[in-house]
Amino acid sequence: MADSLRIACERLSGSGLLATTANIHGDFYLFLVDTGTNYSTLNTDLIQRLRLPRSIGLRPTPVAGAKVVDPPPGRYRIDYLTLSGQGRDYVITDLEITDSRHGEDLQADGVLGMSFFEKFDRVVLDLLLPSLELIWDTTSGS
């Protein structure tokens, strides 16, 4: 059996990129929705303000793509990140995130990339609404 959550997104003016809000430790932050990047990021300044603990023993993950990108400088863990939609909340625990300046020029606080989306069985991005539907299996033992 599957359950899902549809989350509203917004188009950032002038860019056409999609973004959504997420709650981290009681405050709301704007995240770009980017299925083309391997990892999720949070702006370096915000990581420092939230005082997120650095993950020990984890090596940075290089980004796959057409051009060579240096590995992100560090990995951090967010205890919980809450997404809301359809009158309910979905809490993602122990999310690994890297520090980056990606998205700052668009006034975004971070990027939700594949390291976030791989936590779900299916992800449906509706460009017309715009919205993001996250689908996961609720049967035990799966």
Cβ atoms of 72 and 42 closer than 8 Å: no
CA 39 to chain centre: 8
CATH of residue 13's domain is 2.40.70.10
CA 56 to chain centre: 21
Residue 142 lies in a domain: no
CA-based Rg of the chain, rounded to a whole angstrom? 15
**End-to-end Cα, the chain, rounded Å:** 10
Q: What are the pLDDT tens digits along the chain (142 aa)?
A: 889 999 999 988 777 889 999 999 889 999 999 888 888 888 888 888 888 877 655 454 444 443 444 444 577 888 888 999 888 888 888 787 887 766 666 678 888 988 889 889 999 999 888 999 999 988 754 4
Q: Look up residue 29 and give its DSSP letter.
A: E
Alpha-carbon dihedral sign for residues 55, 93, 47, 130: positive
In the chain, how many domains are there?
A: 1
- State which residues form the domain around 47: 2-137
* Beta carbons within 10 angstroms of residue 80's beta carbon: 12
State pTM to two decimals: 0.79
